[in-house]
Structure 1
Amino acid sequence: MAPVAYNWQLTHDLDVFLARAGEFLRSRPAMHTVPLSVTDTLRRRGIHGFGAGVPVFGFLEREGTVRAAFFRTPPYRLNVTPLSGEEADALAVRLAEEAHSPPGVFGDRATVAAFAEAWQRRTGATVSQRSRERLYRLHLLTPPEPAPPGRARVATGADREELARWQGQFAAAIGEGASRDGGAWADDRIAYGGVTLWETPDGTPVAMACVTPLIAGQIRVAPVYTPAPLRGRGYAGAATAEVSRAALAAGAEEVLLFTDLANPTSNGLYQRIGYRPVSDFATYDFACDVTATAAPWPNRSPNDGS
């Protein structure tokens, strides 16, 4: 039997990528929630919606059917859909050939472990696991009782400055730095009603819960943030319950969220609200000079075939 060929197709054209891989992404909306929401953001905000770098997209087609995909929006990590070990290895080879040097990878746990091993073997990268996350799906919404004093409301333009500041604090808290413009992030979320604030009876905002737009029947809650001095009072849980209720009312068939498995507090909170585990994901960081280690494969311009 002839060996299976894993011919990854690369492109910088979002429309080409969605025309070829869009149906595949929509076929598993929970597992593909990140590529669905990121490509939706790029369509709304433009190809530089996540930074000045040019995104790269890719898909793996066999017998006329797309069975895997990836994307990267610089300066962020590679994001991959579930892959077999052979598919992950073939992707590592293709990206090394094209002199791509992602700073890391995010995806389901088994896939990114296989890709990280292949990337290290193919490029000499230093590889380290950064975090483990769990994807949850809302099963039966159970709002926390009693709710903290106050109410939920959708953020407006008047909240822009505070939202931008909180987004920066959230990014710093998870170790991502300030690589995105907080004001642009706030503008985008406000435009589609994507931020809900919990405010105290005197009208002071104390927490936010954000959601992605409805796409392929799914909405993802992300991020949820309470400033450090205000934590432990139930604000985040109340805000999350409210955006979850609103997502269902908006017609979402699946309401999803990720949690850091190193944070038992948030994992316990979301399960009490009614979320149940779907799958485990992980993030790996890479440190390497791909241009110095890609010599075993043919040198090709990064623009060839992409």
Structure 2
Amino acid sequence: MSRPPETPTIVRHASVREFLDRASDYLGERETEHNLLLGVALALRDREPDDAQVWLTVEQNAAVVGAVMRTPPHRPALSRMPADAASAVAGHFRTIGPPVSGVFGPAEEVRQFSDDYCEPGLHQTRLKLRLWLYRCDSPPPAPTVEVTLRSAVRGDQDQVRELLAGFHRDEVSPPPEDLQAEAGRVIERGAVVAVDNADQPVCLAAIARRSPTGVVVAPVFTVTEQRRRGLASACVAELTRRQFDQGVSFCCLFANQQNETANSVYQKLGYSRVCEFEWWEFDDV
């Protein structure tokens, strides 16, 4: 006879490496949905521990049932987890801290967290962004539009910086502190650009991070005057094909649900919806 489930407990880990040792098997079971936690943790694994960061596992009956990371200035990011686990995470941040002003993750989990974290009369919840997570398991067809595509190179860094700035303006999301340095990292990770007649980048598709067997495509951005020409579709298709050529098992990406054009483009390229993600903000009343 199986024993009843225990109350979920929260374990805070002293380092990213310790977190991965405990959580990687659980996160890897649904690698696509956990691309953010896995990708960021793998990128930070060999750095010195940062006391401002929070790396948690939620455990029940000696098993991991959820995971959370907080890397300031970003909001906590939640993995898939049962409702009582999300409630336990909310209780942890509410009573032990540090206080948070929002949350990001799979829709059901972040709604449960928000309901339990925010106290009536003290907080007001606000949905900032609703996204679809997409996954592609095979190379897409070659683009049919006339476009010149190439790899972004170091000489493109200023133009890539401007494309990144445009992306963050459109998405109303805070850019990295050093956008020039981020442009360099985007180029190093193997971005694809569409260029104009002067060989200047006017559209960008990049790799945001890597998980154990997949990659996350982001950001994707086209300058305003070059839109509706199929450039973003061509860049994403080429970047996706290159990743499969390099041996990844899948590519995934997020799309704002309000951007009907982007959602249509990704589905035509063979990206299928996996689940819904949401970003909630908490405002003091």
Identify the range of structure 1 (138-147 vs 253-262) with the bigger mean alpha-carbon deviation.
138-147
Residue deviations 1:152-186 (CA, integer Å, cap 9, x gap) = 22212211222222212211221113343212212
Task: Give the corresponding residue for 2:265.
Answer: 269
Contact 1:137/1:256 (<8 A) preserved = yes
- Counterpart of 2:163 in structure 1 is 166
CA distance in structure 2 between the partners assigned to 1:27 and 1:146 by the alignment: 36
Q: Which amino acid aligns with 2:136?
A: L
Q: Which ranges of structure 2 fall in alignment gaps of 5 or more residues?
A: none
Alignment of 1:172-251 (within 5 A): 172-193=169-190, 195-251=191-247
Report the TM-score when normalising by structure 1: 0.85
Letter in 1 for 2:35: T
CA pair 141-179 structure 1, distance change in 2 beyond 3 A: closer
Task: From the superposition, tell whether residues 179 and 139 of structure 1 become closer, same or farther in structure 2 (CA, over 3 Å).
Answer: closer
Partner of 2:18: 16
Q: Which amino acid aligns with 1:94?
A: H
Further displaced range: 33-42 or 172-181:
172-181
* Deviation digits for residues 263-300 of structure 1 (CA, Å, limit 9, x no counterpart): 111000111111111111111111239xxxxxxxxxxx
Match of 1:301 in 2: none
Residue 100 of structure 2 aligns with an amino acid whose one-letter code is P
The number of aligned residues is: 283
Tell me if 1:74 matches 2:80.
no
- Could you tell me whether the CA contact under 8 Å between 2:206 and 2:220 is conserved in 1? yes
Instruction: Kindly state the Cα deviation for residue 23 of structure 1 after the two structures are TM-superposed.
Output: 2.1
CA distance in structure 2 between the partners assigned to 1:210 and 1:222 by the alignment: 5
Q: Distance in 2 between matches of 1:36 and 1:96?
A: 25
Structure 1 unaligned spans of 5+ = 290-306
Question: Cα RMSD over matched residues?
Answer: 2.3
3-state DSSP of counterpart to 1:31: coil
Q: Distance in 2 between matches of 1:229 and 1:45?
A: 41
- How far apart in 2 are the matches of 1:261 and 1:213? 22
* Matching of residue 36 in structure 1 with residue 33 in structure 2: no
Q: Does 1:281 align with 2:273?
A: no
Residue identity (%): 26
Q: Kindly state the Cα deviation for residue 6 of structure 1 after the two structures are TM-superposed.
A: 1.4
Cα distance in 1 for partners of 2:222, 2:116 equals 38
Separation of aligned partners in 2, 1:191 and 1:44: 19
CA contact (8 A) 2:143 2:234 kept: no
Question: 2:15, 2:55 within 8 Å by CA — same for their partners in 1?
Answer: yes
Q: Which amino acid aligns with 2:53?
A: P
Judging changes above 3 Å, is the alpha-carbon distance between structure 1 residues 38 and 155 closer, same or farther for their aligned structure 2 residues?
same
Question: Cα–Cα, structure 1 residues 167 and 140, in superposed 2: closer, same or farther, change >3 Å?
Answer: same
SS at 2:158 equivalent: helix
For residues 124 and 89 of structure 1, do their structure 2 counterparts lie closer, same or farther at Cα, with a shift above 3 Å needed?
farther
Q: 1: distance between equivalents of 2:45 and 2:86?
A: 27
Q: Counterparts of 1:126 and 1:46 in 2: how far apart (Å)?
A: 36
Q: Which residue of 2 aligns with 1:299?
A: none
What does residue range 282-297 of structure 1 map to in structure 2 within 5 Å?
282-288=278-284
After superposition, the Cα gap between the structure-2 partners of 1:158 and 1:93, relative to the gap in structure 1 and judged at 3 Å, is same
Question: What is the CA-CA distance between 1:3 and the residue it aligns to?
Answer: 7.0
Query: 1:90 corresponds to which residue?
Result: 88
- Provide the TM-score with structure 2 as the length reference: 0.91
Give the distance between the partners of 1:169 and 1:231, measured in 2 at CA.
Answer: 13
Q: SS of 2:118's equivalent?
A: helix
Distance 1:109 1:72 in 2: 17
- Residue 41 of structure 1 aligns to a residue whose secondary structure is helix
Q: Which residue of 2 aligns with 1:137?
A: 135
| Residues 79-118 of structure 1, C-alpha deviations (whole Å, 9 max, x = no match) | 0011222111111111112232222111111111111111
Q: Is the alpha carbon distance of 1:117 and 1:217 closer, same or farther for their aligned partners in structure 2, counting shifts above 3 Å?
A: same
